[in-house]
Every structure is written in C-alpha cells, then in structure tokens.
Amino acid sequence: MAIHPFKNEKSDDWEKGERNAELQQALASIREQFSTNYPLYINGEEIYTEKTVPSYNPSNHEQVLGYVSQARKHDVGKAIDAAEKAFEDWRLRSFKDRAMYLLKAAEIMRRRKAELVAWQIYEVGKNYYEADGEILEAIDFLEMYARKAIALGEEQCVNTSPGIENRLEYLPLGIGVIIPPWNFPLAILTGMTASAIVTGNTVLIKPSIVTPITGYKFMEIMQELHLPDGVVNFVPGSSREIGDFMVGHKDVNFISFTGSKEVGLHIDEIAHQRTKGQRWIKRVVSEMGGKNGVVVDETADLDAAAEAIVTSAFRFQGQKCSAGSRAIIHEEVYGALIEKIVERTATLKVGNTLENPDLGPVIDEKAYNNIVNYIELGKKEASLALGGSSDNGVGYYIEPTIFKDVAPESRIMREEIFGPVLAICKVSNFEEGIRVYNDTEYGLTGALFTKDRERMAYARMHMRCGNLFFNSKCTGAIVGVQPFGGYYMSGTGAKTGTGEYLLNFVQAKTTSEKL
C-alpha cells in the first residue's frame, strides 16, 4: 500500500443534495436502533453486564438512545490481563505494520461518515457543521499518527565512535488507560487511542458516561480492523467504581486523559502514588480545559474581531476546551465592538440539532445547572447585554449570553463555565489587556486582534497559552497545522497531531556494539 503525504480531510456540506439525503437516511436508521444494548469489549469478546446506564439525547432528554453495559473491577482486571498478554506480541510488530491499521481505520471512518455524524447530532448535541468537524479531526489523527509513527520507527541518527556501532530506537511503554471527554467523544478518543497503539502499546478505553455509544461506535471500527485480541479493550463504567482502580493499577504504565481540571488533577494524584508491585513511574498525558480569551486593541478590524469573538464563544454552545469565553477590549473601541458582538449574537438560533441550528443543547442536566448558576452570578457581577434565559423542559437549552463591564477579578472572568456565556472587560491599554488575559490559572488558547506587529511580537512572549492566534478565532485548531495543547491548569503541554506527541508513549533505548 502506497503511503501518500498527509493531507487534511475535506469537509462535507450535509445541508444539501446527496450528502443531506445520506445523513437523513442515517438519522432514520439510528432512530430504529434506539434502546439497543451495548456491551463491554474485552480480549476480543463482547460482554453484556446486568448493570447498564442509558444514554440520552440532550436535545430531547426523555429520549433514550441506548443502554451501555457497565464494567466492574473484575472486568477491568480481566481487561488489564488481556492487554498485558497482547502487549507481548503487539510491541514486536513494526511501526509500519501497526500504522497500516490506522490507515485502514481512516478508510472505515470515511465509509461510515454519515452514520458517525448522525450519532454526534443525537448523542452529543452538535449541529451538522460541528459534527462534520469531529469526524474530520478523527480521520486526520489516524492519517497523521500513522505517518509520524512510520518515521519514528526508522533508524534514528546518532553519532558513532571508532570501533563502536550505536543505535537509538523507540520502544512502547506497556498498558495505557484512555479516558476521553464527552465533548469530542470520537475525535479525541481516536487521537488518544491511535497514538498509543501505533507506538506498540495496548489500551483500556473508559468512555464518558454521557456519550458512551459514540465510544462503542469507535470500538466497532476497531473490531472491523481485526486487531489482535486485547490490543484495544472497551470498559465503560462508573468513575467512582473503576476509575481510581484503573489509574492506580500496578500494571498500568500510562494514562491519557482529556476532561475537567478537577478530574485531571485527581487522576494525576492517584497515578503518582506508587502501588505495591509497581515497577515504573506512570506517565500522565492530560488536557484539562481553559478560560480562553480574545484581546482586541484600538487598531483592530472590529468586524473581523466581532465575528471571531462570537464564533469562539458560542460554537457548540461554548462547550469546547478552547472556547473563547472572555473578550478583553481596548476602551477606545469598547462600545462600538460590543454593539457588533451583540448584533451578531442576536441572530443565532437555538434548537434541536436535528434541525441544524446555530446552537444546540448543552450536554446534560449537571452542565445545564452549572451554567445557569454562573449566569445568575454574572447578573450580580456585571451588566447583562444579551440573553440570560434558559429552558430545560424538553432539551437543555441556554440562550447565548453576554455580560459587559465585567471586572477583571470577577469569577465569570476567571473561572471556566463551559457553556454559551461570554464575559466582556474594558481595558485602558494593550499591556493591561495582556495582564487581564493572563489573570487565570489556565493556559490553553488565546487570540489577539491588532494591526501592530510589535504588539504581536510582545504577545508571543507574554500571552500565556499553548495556542495563540492573531486576528483569528481561538478555536478550531487543525491537526498538523496548529499543534494543540496547553499548560498550567490546562494540561501537561503535550501537542496533539504531531510526531512529538507520540514520544509520550514510547521510551528510548540505546544499543552500542563494539566491533
């Protein structure tokens, strides 16, 4: 099989023509599958358990999409044993051999794209555009990591010395636990799993409890690949019951996690408590969200800034870790820019994602209540410029909400809300804007709108974030184009979609032979 240079997957327009007909057929087909029971998948075997949990449609929270079996500790133990056994052969495969599985998985995703988009609409509450982007990213991860792994498996350049032949090679770590988030339950799951198995590791996947069917659809693709039994195991279950057990198990070598700061810090703490019989220091690769913002100075193109701020804040209901929930605006353009932001936001439609609105529902009741509480707090801390209403009668719907005249030290300016809420702050100069931007414990994405190149240079050195965008929105980083990942309380700094990311899942070994 010829391996062509990497190219990002092209998007589809699901609103028109044949693609729309294909999507409507997929949505109808899935409706007929509602209430299906989904199993665990351990060592190549489907296992149905007595205990199941329902997955609900956030656009219609009385609609059950299916029931997913729940793993207990003994199931996790069985999965770890299977992964350990599979590792002994899988680690010996060549990087190219393992990469071929990823390229085949990408082809399967292309073939099943309409179905995967439909599941995003039903289970995750994404509109057509956001659902399509999810599948594109998943395919890009497979294609990118396959190629980067092949390069990693090639002979590494090391210096030689007279009479001695030296070699450096990369070996896998062992068994990993993959814990993906609910907001990108296919793309991030794919990226974390693909990077682990292509480097020779074996894994256990614990999907989010609110989007487990999407996780199982990924497992169907893994089954279609005919991977050796035990390389990828699917163990959905209660975090309280199996989470710490998995993370702290003596035979687990690494944990890949994307989710909230609180859970990520807990995982890191458990992982680094040595367990009896544990022989290695576990690695934790985590991404934990952010309190991202857009800084606008007095030289900026205000129409472009307004469009970027609205897109960054409200796409996918503000439920992206990169969402721009803060706008920090120079006083000279403050009033004019707020008018443009409010005007654009007022045109956004909220509704059931089957109807492809601008905004769908937030994911569940817990998220809904948390966001509503922050909106009530915002009404006390600042001035409500737009929105503020919510309705969970049928789905978990929240209007895009804007607060202006927000004090830099206020909670809605510093704490992650993870919903369609934008806080706007006025500053008197550019440097103050950067200071306000940095006044949070996170460091994921940021954007600066300016025509002053010296200010861009200043921002490169002083805006504390892993991904910085000039005169653009702060969301939508593309695999292989804008390596993604942050630091501080946003994560461990690993950059996804790069060859560097694969180094998190290998260890280097040097061999020297005297000739």
- Domains of the chain (ranges; CATH) run 17-288+493-514 (3.40.605.10), 292-479 (3.40.309.10)
pLDDT of residue 160: 79
Low-confidence stretches of the chain (pLDDT beneath 50): none
User: Which among 320, 323, 262, 316 is positioned nearest to 292, based on CA atoms?
Assistant: 323
pLDDT of residue 163: 87
The 3-state secondary structure of 286-304, one letter per residue: EECCCCEEEEECCCCCHHH
Asked whether the beta carbons of 142 and 187 are under 8 A apart, the reply is: no
Helices 128-153 and 95-111, packing angle to 10 deg: 160
Chain centre to alpha carbon of residue 84: 27
pLDDT of residue 254: 98
pLDDT of residue 1: 59
Active site residues: 287, 321
pLDDT of residue 2: 65
Helices 95-111 and 212-224, packing angle to 10 deg: 120
Tokens of 476: 């939508």
166 DSSP β-pair partners: 512
